[in-house]
Copies of this chain bind each other. A is one copy, B any other.
Amino acid sequence: GAPGAPGYGGFPGQAQDPLFGYFSAVAGQDGQIDAEELQRCLTQANFSGGYKPFNLETCRLMISMLDRDMSCTMGFNEFKELWSILHAWKQHFMSMDRDRSGTIDHTEMQQAVASMGYRLSPQAMTAIVKRCSTQGKITFDDYVACCVKIRALTDVFRRRDQSQQGVASFSYDDFIQSTMTI
């Protein structure tokens, strides 16, 4: 094609994807981004909109959730996957935060977790929601961090519960490694 035509450049196909613009603006030569670059990327893309930008720890959690090779970095395919997960969570959060106060309450957070299909006891639910609250409320950042953690920890558990009996055994080393890296 002529210069400037669709597909022109070193990344055929990807150049047309608007997300690639956000990603490539922060990615280094290796085509990977770390937690600080992801934070910059999501802030520049104004992903959080009216909500506060994600803090660094939440961005680390996002990377760890999809980090299959334990590199603590993220390629473009994982970034696209993350974007679509985050987008769905944001829609859900906004549907609960009707008055645009920026926060939801404990009951709404429990309903959000239940609606994602996680079956937890009332006791576990209460403890989790309390832990992710700030002054009794859950901000968008708190909510995303909580969603990321439940998803990643459920994956860890499921991989060790191969007979699907709802019970998993861990060696000490495996337990510490798999929970510390989330």
Interface residues of A (CB under 8 A from B): 34-36, 55-57, 60, 64, 70, 72, 118-121, 123-124, 127-128, 130-131, 133-135, 146, 149-150, 153-154, 157, 161, 166-173, 175-177, 179-182
Contact = CB atoms under 8 A, between A and B. Distances in A.
A175 B149 CA distance: 12
Contacts of A172: 119, 154, 157, 161, 166-168
A167 B166 contact: no
Contacts of A120: 173, 176-177
A36 B133 CA distance: 11
Nearest to A71: B130
Contact of A176 (B128, B169, B170): B128
Nearest to A133: B72
Nearest to A63: B131
Given A170-B167, A173-B120, A175-B168, A180 B57 contact: no
B170 A127 contact: no
A171 B179 CA distance: 15
Contact of A130 (B72, B119, B167, B171): B72
A118 B173 CA distance: 10
Name which of A119, A121, A127, A161 has the most chain B CB atoms within 10 A of its CB: A127
A171 B181 contact: no
B173 A124 contact: yes
B157 A127 contact: no
